[in-house]
Chains A and B, each alone.
Chain A
Amino acid sequence: MSRLRVGLIVNPCAGLGGAVALKGSDGVVDEALARGATPQAATRAAHALWAMRPLAAELALITGAGTLGDDAARAAGLAADVIYEGPARSTAKDTVQLARRLNTLRVDLLLFAGGDGTARDVADGVDETLPVLGIPAGVKMHSGVFATTPQAAGLLALAFLQSTARRVAPQEVMDLDEQAVRAGHVNPMLYGYLSVPEDPRLLQGRKVPAVAGDAVVAEAIAASVIEEMEPGVVYLIGPGSTTSAVKRALGGHASLLGVDAYLDRRLLASDATAAQLEDLVAHRPARALVTCIGGQGHIFGRGNQQFSGAVVRSLGRAGIRVLATPAKLQSLRGRPFIADLQDPEAASAVAGYVEVVSGYRSRAYYRCEAV
């Protein structure tokens, strides 16, 4: 039996800025250490690895030297293959480098311990098909790539590696501009996507097994949306794992992270700016297809700022469809959608119950609040 190859990246600086109120750790490592921060990421990574010990005999752990992963592996009592030697104090570049090498090795799963910044660096180093799972160890964790706890990360990794299906779903990598946050501005960006193992517990009960994973549901949503597209109407399709299923099905050179406009099921404009969108909605009947950020519920203002107040005002609530799988709606735990538009008129236009496409010929109406 071939061994299960698991890549491990620990960002030793992750989480340093949190307890000392620096709202992140990008570029402030020295200050954080000076303020008395203690590194937590290795311990959290070891907790995750500890949970994976039932597979220890079959596990081939591949990582970087010292604080980049080997220390955490030793702490969990696991031997690791060290394929990368970084400097004494590693930086984001080392995360990217190690991720790139693990990507080339096509490990069965890449585990990383860090926060949103680490997730960005990992996303820089791997392609979007490599299974990646985040061990939560950072200050900010807005991305959908993290398990709820280090132990949960280990158990999910265990379940994923043992499963014969090995189902993954694309999850958002989000990050804030930390300097801006420190200055009091929140401007989160959608940075990319990683393929993350699906937690079957979010999807199914024993009585009625779920045939489809979330990726399949996204395809069903896309089929339904495309079936109902009206001629002569411009569809402005935002970024997101669910909306990108529509873009894939329609074809053309769509952008993964941008807003693309379609007319009569053909690509009209790729990666459109707010000004372009404003122009489009001024001249034709239009609808926006957006998704919500899992767990948080933003439908505007996170990674799709191209939908300006002016565009949303013009569309109105009736012109907006949110594409979201039932699992994604469930991840909101009853919280409403959030439209972060910084435009009171647009906010009141969208607040209320918005239409959600949640499956093939399946919809919901879900409350949206404007901020």
Chain B
Amino acid sequence: MSAGMQDISGFRFTDGRPNLRRYHQARWDEPVIFELSCPGERGVLVPEVEDQVAAAAGDPLAALPPDLRRAEPPRLPELSQNRVLRHYLRLSQQNLGADLNVDIGQGTCTMKYNPKINEQLARSPRMTELHPLQDADTVQGILDVIHRMEAVVREVSGMDAVSLQPRSGSHAIYANFAILRAHQEAAGTAGERDEVITTIFSHPSDAACAKLLGYRVITLYPDAAGYPDVEALRAALSPRTAALIITNPEDTGIFNSRIREFTDLVHAAGGLCIYDQANANGLLGITRAREAGFDMCHFNLHKTFGTPHACGGPAVGAIAVTGELARHLPGPRVVADGGRFRLEAAGAESIGKVAAFMGTASIVLRAYAWVMSLGAEGLREVAEVAVLNNNYMMTELVKIRGMSLPYAQGRRRIEQARYSWKQLADETGIHSDQIGIRAADFGVHYWTSHHPFVVPEPATVEPTESYSKADLDEFVDVMRQVAKEAYENPEHVRSAPHNCPVHAIDGSYFDDPDRWAITWRAYRRKLRAHRAGEAGTK
């Protein structure tokens, strides 16, 4: 047999189109890091304190009140550096990371690409070596960036004043409700106006934060066409209305073009209007909260302004308000003063601090860098491309057997769309979440929707502006393939994932406060209680 040379070009294509990826996740069977602990093992050996230093410093614990001191040291895992590194690298290989997959199946999350140069900026010592307790005169650069980013958010929203202090989207919603309450206290309506109106397709945090601040919540369900029901709003408005909080476009991607009618009705009834603009990716430079009649809004910088989602943070939820409400914003505020910047403490009517210091300054820097690399025209182009991508995908996805796009028939969506696999589920017994698990075998993320499932068998897809047509086609191909399998070999979908290390998870743990645990300590405590309970029943 002659030593031939294979032509490997085109191996991964069929008729010029890339094949579906044959993705296979690593499996390390890695223990929890606490179980890897080896007593006495150290990652960093801290030098012994010199006698003179110890004598000068005295007992560092003496300043701590006795009841704040631990009786025993925290039971942290004891590991060397290389074992820590291996542990987390292995875990990362069992993950479908944001930079690893076509991350457009997680609609509402706005999983756009986060340019790495912005990471480098944020990780440069000029940022990381800053300390929030430094004198303002020595941190003029980051104060300038915060001041400039506030101006960007003012321009994008049309609002008069901005705070970048809240550390997440829900935190920003909470801060806006705190401002609402402060406004009501100042106006003397705090007791009488205690109802907040929202819609079922707005983010669940909108209702949850209102509740946290003691408001009663009224939820509007969609009308037959899928729009928030304006007649239901009329029925809900009363002298007890404190505010409307609403998303637009809603999670369905449907834009409510009567939004001004909504805000006018609420204002006429004496309430304020809060715009949940966490995701304004389809609106940048096109519509603004101000013109739609809102008094407050917020943006998640990790959705709309290109910063990483990380692992539930750190993040920034930027809040923007009208001039009338500016006095209630959290403090301190960055103030420009003759070419210099200084921090002005929170005033008497401010809601006070909602985060330590200035919030997450390094995220503000990333967002500012992202905005400046695009410019005003570029921001508008972001929105245009995100909407174009979504509407292209929509026309392709609805061709798939078993998939449909409920509500607002014949109308386009903005930057995302909520589809329904109801027909497929009825015909094959395969449900939307099972489609998502099978999709992971092809290396893509997928998400259904918030609860409750108002759209049956939902799937929410949001391509953002970051992905190319080839990426969009790849995602559509995965959906088409899984739907085909559901019809031809449903067991193969039902028994997925086949290429991922973690298989069926018992979801009932999520629903049971006695068994869920988000820390190792909580897990051990609940396990002990659970075992004691089991022993008790035997």
Contact A352:B235 (CB < 8 A) given known A164-B506, A203-B451? yes
Report the Cα distance A329→B200, complex, angstroms.
11
- Chain A residues contacting B376 (CB-CB under 8 Å) are none
Among B231, B429, B431, B511: residue with most chain A CB under 10 A: B511
Closest chain A CB from B538 CB (angstroms): 13
- Separation in Å of the A78 CB from the closest CB of chain B? 17
Render A203-229 as a binary contact track against B, CB cut-off 8 A, 1 for contact.
111111111110000000000000000
B41 CB-CB contact with A under 8 Å: no
CB neighbours of A206 from chain B (8 A): 433, 436, 447-448
A362 pairs with B219, CB closer than 8 A: yes
Q: A365, B449: Cβ atoms under 8 Å?
A: no
Residues of A within 8 A of B447 (CB): 205-207
Chain B residue nearest to A209 (CB atoms) is B510
The 8 A CB mask of A302-331 against B (1 = contact, 0 = none) is 000000000000000000000000110110
Query: Are A353 and B235 in contact, CB atoms less than 8 angstroms apart?
Result: yes
In the complex, the answer to whether A213 meets B449 with C-beta atoms within 8 Å is no
Contact (Cβ within 8 A) A200 B450: no
Q: With an 8 A cutoff between CB atoms, is B13 at the interface?
A: no
A208 touches B232 (CB 8 A): no
Please indicate the chain A residues that have their CB under 8 angstroms from the CB of B216 in the complex: 361-363
Shortest CB-to-CB span from A348 to chain B, Å, is 16
* B453 contacts partner chain A, Cβ-Cβ < 8 Å: yes
User: With a CB–CB cut-off of 8 A, which chain B residues contact A333?
Assistant: 456
A202 to B452, alpha carbons, bound, how many Å? 6
Q: Is A149 an interface residue (CB 8 A)?
A: yes
**Quick check: is B217 within 8 A (CB to CB) of the other chain?**
yes
Evaluate contact between B235 and A330: CB separation under 8 angstroms. Answer: no
Q: Are B222 and A334 in contact (CB under 8 A)?
A: yes
A364 and B224 in contact (CB under 8 A), knowing A201-B433, A205-B448? Answer: no
Whether B426 pairs with A205 at a CB distance below 8 angstroms is no
Report the Cα distance A68→B231, complex, angstroms.
Answer: 52
Give chain B interface residues in 441-462, CB to chain A under 8 Å: 447-454, 456-458
B313 at the interface (CB under 8 A from A): no
Judge if A84 is at the interface, Cβ distance under 8 Å: no
Minimum CB–CB distance from A164 to chain B (whole Å) comes to 5
Least CB separation from B232: chain A residue: A365
Interfacial chain A residues near B515, Cβ < 8 Å? 164
Asked if B135 lies at the interface with its beta carbon under 8 angstroms from chain A, I say no
- The distance in angstroms between the C-alpha atoms of A209 and B516, with both chains bound, is 11
Interface string of B226-237 (1 = CB under 8 A from A): 000101101110
State whether the Cβ of A165 lies closer than 8 Å to any Cβ in chain B: yes
Q: Are B219 and A205 in contact (CB under 8 A)?
A: no
B39 contacts partner chain A, Cβ-Cβ < 8 Å: no
Question: Nearest chain A CB to B241's CB is how many angstroms away?
Answer: 12
Q: In the bound complex, do residue B429 and residue A204 qualify as a contact, i.e. CB atoms below 8 Å apart?
A: no
Cβ contact of B231, chosen from A210, A353, A358, cutoff 8 A = A353
Determine the chain B residues whose CB is within 8 A of the CB of A367 once the complex forms.
229, 231-232
The number of chain A residues with a CB under 8 A from chain B is 42
Interface status of A152 (Cβ within 8 A of chain B) = yes
* Contact string against A for B residues 363-375, beta-carbon threshold 8 Å, 1 for contact and 0 otherwise: 0000000000000
B507: Cβ under 8 A from any A Cβ: yes
Chain B residues, Cβ within 8 Å of A204: 451-452, 507, 510-511
Q: Which residues of B contact A191 (CB under 8 A)?
A: none
A329-B221, A330-B454 given; A208·B204 CB < 8 A: yes
CB within 8 Å of B: which of A144-174? 148-149, 151-152, 155, 162-165, 167
Q: Is A289 an interface residue (CB 8 A)?
A: no
Determine if A113 is an interface residue (Cβ-Cβ < 8 Å). Answer: no
- B354 in the interface (beta carbon within 8 A): no
Complex: A201 Cα to B197 Cα, angstroms: 26
Are A213 and B451 neighbours in the complex by a CB distance under 8 Å? no
Q: Which residues of B contact A149 (CB under 8 A)?
A: 426, 429
With A362-B219, A363-B217, A366-B221 already in contact, the answer to whether A207 and B429 are too (CB < 8 A) is no
Closest to A202 in B: B453
* Cβ–Cβ < 8 Å partners of A202 in chain B: 452-453
Q: What is the distance, in angstroms, from A131's C-beta to the closest C-beta of chain B? A: 15
CB of B207 closer than 8 Å to a CB of A: yes
Whether B512 sits at the interface, judged by CB under 8 Å, is yes
Asked if B58 is at the interface of the complex by the 8 Å CB criterion, the answer is no
- Given A202-B452, A353-B231; A148-B426 close (CB under 8 Å): yes
Q: A51 interface residue, CB < 8 Å from B? A: yes
Shortest Cβ gap from A264 to chain B (Å): 23
Give the residues in chain B near A164, CB-CB below 8 Å: 506, 508-509, 512, 515
Is the Cβ of B511 less than 8 Å from the Cβ of A165?
Answer: yes
Residue of B nearest to A336 (CB): B224
Q: For the complex, is B191 an interface residue (Cβ under 8 Å from A)?
A: no
Query: In this complex, which of A165, A201, A208 has the most chain B Cβ atoms within 10 angstroms of its Cβ?
Result: A201
Q: How far is the CB of A230 from chain B (nearest CB, A)?
A: 15
CB distance from A335 to the nearest CB of B (A): 9
Question: Residues 219-254 of chain B: 1 if any A CB is under 8 Å from the residue's CB, otherwise 0?
Answer: 111111000010110111000000000000000000
Asked whether B451 lies within 8 Å of A334 as measured between CB atoms, the reply is no
| Complex Cα gap A209–B450 (Å) | 9
Which residues of A lie under 8 Å from residue B200 when comparing CB positions?
326
**Cα separation A208 to B200 with both chains bound (whole Å):** 14
Contact of B452 among A155, A163, A326 (CB under 8 A): A326
Identify which of B207, B218, B431 gathers the most chain A CB atoms within 10 Å of its CB.
Answer: B218
Residues of A within 8 A of B (CB): 51, 148-149, 151-152, 155, 162-165, 167, 200-213, 326-327, 329-330, 333-334, 352-353, 358-359, 361-367
Some 12 contacts from A to B, beta carbons below 8 A apart, are A51-B429, A164-B506, A165-B511, A201-B432, A202-B452, A204-B511, A205-B453, A205-B458, A206-B433, A209-B510, A210-B511, A363-B218
Measuring CB to CB, which residues of chain B are less than 8 angstroms from any residue of chain A? 200, 204, 207, 211, 216-224, 229, 231-232, 234-236, 426, 429, 431-433, 436, 447-454, 456-458, 506-513, 515
Told that A151-B429, A209-B507 touch, could you supply 18 new A-B pairs with CB distance under 8 A?
A51-B429, A155-B429, A162-B506, A164-B506, A164-B508, A167-B511, A201-B433, A201-B453, A206-B436, A206-B448, A207-B450, A213-B511, A326-B219, A326-B452, A353-B234, A353-B236, A359-B217, A361-B217
7 residue pairs, one from A and one from B, having the closest CB atoms: A353-B235, A165-B508, A209-B510, A365-B235, A204-B451, A151-B429, A361-B216
